Amino acid sequence: LLKYFSPLGFWGLVNNAGISTFGETGWLSMEKYEKFADVNLLGSIRTTLAFLPLLRKYKGRIVFMSSIIAYFTLGNGIYSMTKAAIEKFCDALRLEMKKFGVQVCIIQPGNYARSTKIQPPVSAEEIWNELSEEEKAVYNKEYVQERADFFNNILSKGSMNGNEVVDAMVDALMSPAPKARYMVAKLKEKALVFVCALFPTVVMDSVLSYALSK
């Protein structure tokens, strides 16, 4: 959470709080789903509602930290779920706030795991030990290790230039004409978003299945 006060009053709110983890759908407990929804989604909503009267009064800005992972998932569906939900919340809020002169912006970073430390490397052993007996009967340690190695490889390729995301946040707050969405990502990441957003689901599934099999 970042709040910006100008001489004109309460001007800007940045909802930046977020947590991430790795795991296929059945590997994660209901408690973990609830925690992620509470922090990544409901936390931003609670904060927004608390400051909405001031933001309307001073015709301010609201900035939300989303992710390109809102469009697809590669092993962290629980994170994708919350980011997709916050995108829809922002879409509704942006339209509703136009009549008050309040602008709503979404930041969509690509892979900045190395600069933000939002997701530490995952341990296949820890994942296996936390699986239920039902899940252990379906999967094996080798598969879990393969998935962990795949995900850790993605993390290792994350950008260290976190200032690029900060620059987008500043522009969203200070520009006379801010964008509704700021996608701060590598060309390959933007291309994947393009495929997921515009192509039929069968194409998206084929691309992601291929990536997961590598």
Give the residue numbers annotated as catalytic, written as ranges: 79
Cα Dmax for the chain = 62
Give CA–CA dist 202/207, Å, rounded.
Answer: 9
Say how far apart CA 59 and CA 114 lie, in whole Å: 35
Pick from 69, 99, 97: which is nearest to 81 by CA? Answer: 69
147 within 8 A of 123, measured Cβ to Cβ: no
14 vs 106: CA distance, rounded Å: 10
Q: Cβ atoms within 10 A of the Cβ of 154, count?
A: 16
Separation between Cα atoms, residue 73 and residue 143, nearest integer Å: 18
User: Distance from CA of residue 105 to its chain's centroid?
Assistant: 14
Residue 97, CB half-sphere, CA atoms under 13 Å: how many? 26
Rounded distance, CA 120 to CA 60, Å? Answer: 35
The CA–CA distances, whole Å, from 56 to 2, 72, 92, 146, 172 equal 17, 33, 15, 50, 17
